[in-house]
Amino acid sequence: MLRLQRAAAGWLLSISLMLPASYASAQDLKVPRMPPRPANTLVMLPDGSTVHVELAKTEAERNFGLMERTSLPQGRGMLFIHDQPGNYSYWMYDCRIGLDIIWMDQSHRIVEMSPKTPPCKGKSNTCPSYGGKETSVYVLELPVGSIEAHQLVVGQTVNFNVE
């Protein structure tokens, strides 16, 4: 029995050494840095104004999002494209700026919004999640105040083409 316990302890030790540092020491997550993506896709908001957005299509791009940005000019944003409809909550870990977040369904209809979403200044395990209560495919992040400035409301349709 003692030999079995020692073998089990050795196995657990070897497994713990393979885990990322965030598991072993409860440090913040390290999300791989993604290169900047050009803002060459246009999104037309219901009031007729346009926003140049960067696309986040892959899991890695969606995970990194707008982390580490120190500003996001008016008329700019990021459009997150999920592979299938789902309930996608977002958090502001390692984001240095506040954002307005807009969730849209397959028809580009706004289904949920989080205005003036603050950056998370704490460790990853202290950052709250926002949204994800409604089924969506697209999530648009814009500078703080955009929802109010463009008078966006749930039910409106946002116009864009992505391939």
Tell me, what's the pLDDT at 3?
36
What is the dotted CATH code of the domain comprising 31-160?
A: 2.60.120.1140
Tell me, what's the pLDDT at 5?
36
- For the chain, give every domain's residue range: 1-26, 31-160
Tell me, what's the pLDDT at 12?
33
Beta-ladder partners of 138: 81, 104
Would the pLDDT of 1 be above 60?
Answer: no
Q: What is the dihedral of CA 50, 158, 151, 153, to 10 degrees?
A: -170
Q: What angle do CA 40, 48, 112 make, to 5 degrees?
A: 85
Tell me, what's the pLDDT at 25?
35
28/41: higher pLDDT: 41
Would the pLDDT of 31 be above 90?
Answer: no
pTM value?
A: 0.78
Find the mean pLDDT for residues 2-21: 34
